[in-house]
Amino acid sequence: MSWSFQLYSARNFTPWEDILAMVAAAGYSQVEGFGGLYQDPAGLRAMLDANGLSMPTAHFGLDMLENDFGKARSIAETLGVKTVICPHIAADLRPSDEAGWRSFAARLAAVNEACTAAGMAFAWHNHDFEFENTDGIVPMRILLDAAPEIGWEMDVAWVARGGADPLSWIHEYGTRIIAAHVKDIAPEGEAADEDGWADVGHGVLDWPAIMQALRERTAAEILVLEHDNPSDAKRFATRSLASAKQF
């Protein structure tokens, strides 16, 4: 397993030249991309190369993946991305019943087929809403069961915020997890200015147990450190990597 840095964590601290230099200096060799980065893929690749960074995984919006896959493929190839990850579906577009989620799973399976044909892996990245249990329907379970060919980038903290037990899901679906977001949750009532998130290892999640499960029960090769709203990106990057290396 190797560590990566989700560049979304530093989106409020641009320019990107400075961020990539900071990430490299902090000890990372890999980063994960997101949709706001792709206006100039060749320029971004040059900045990555200049800092000794690679981008093996990257997030792409569902609209591009379904309606302009050629563009997504071109961006991924330019950046050296090996695993394409779809990170979200807006609340107003989410299915409301089991049939809807099964239909959505079929859409993801079609994207997976396109990625496979292009020589890339594909995965879905969860938030909290996939774990909401409505009349016995848990969307994440439907997605994984109805589309067994797609991978899962597990966001551990969002699983917990969704009211589920990350360890239980790792034990049940570990073979589907091909990457993971390592993100922490602050103690209740703390870090309100950071939306209740914490630097990895400085929150409430049981990382020694989670990391052991990820190592022993999943196929994840890349663990991506992330904080959705840090007040200091450099602090998050350095403290989180130092903690993560101890797990």
For the chain, which residues make up each domain, given as ranges? Answer: 2-244
CA separation (Å) from 59 to 34, 72, 83?
5, 10, 9
Measured between alpha carbons, how far is 105 from 40 in angstroms, rounded to an integer? 31
Asked whether residue 136 carries a pLDDT value surpassing 90, the answer given is: no
Query: Which residues, at least 6 apart from 115, have a Cβ–Cβ distance to it below 8 Å?
Result: 84, 121, 122
Please write the tens of the pLDDT for every residue from 10-23: 999 999 999 999 99
Taking alpha carbons only, the member of 235, 206, 224 closest to residue 87 is: 224
Residue 174 pLDDT level (bands cut at 50, 70, 90): very high
> Which class in CATH covers the domain with range 2-244?
alpha beta
Q: What is the pLDDT of residue 145?
A: 97
| pLDDT at 153 > cutoff 90 | yes
Average pLDDT over every residue of 46-68? 98
pTM over 0.75: yes
State the Cα torsion 30-52-202-141 to the nearest 10°: -10
Strands 54-59 and 30-33: parallel
What pLDDT score does 8 carry?
98
Per-residue pLDDT at 5 exceeds 90: yes
In the chain, % of residues over pLDDT 70: 100
CB 238 within 8 A of CB 195: no
**Mean pLDDT value across the chain:** 97
Residue 134, pLDDT score: 83
In the structure, what pLDDT confidence band is assigned to residue 135 with cuts at 50, 70 and 90? confident
Give, as one character, the DSSP assignment of residue 134: B
CB 98 within 8 Å of CB 136: no
The pLDDT value recorded for residue 141 is 97
Mean pLDDT of 42-66: 98
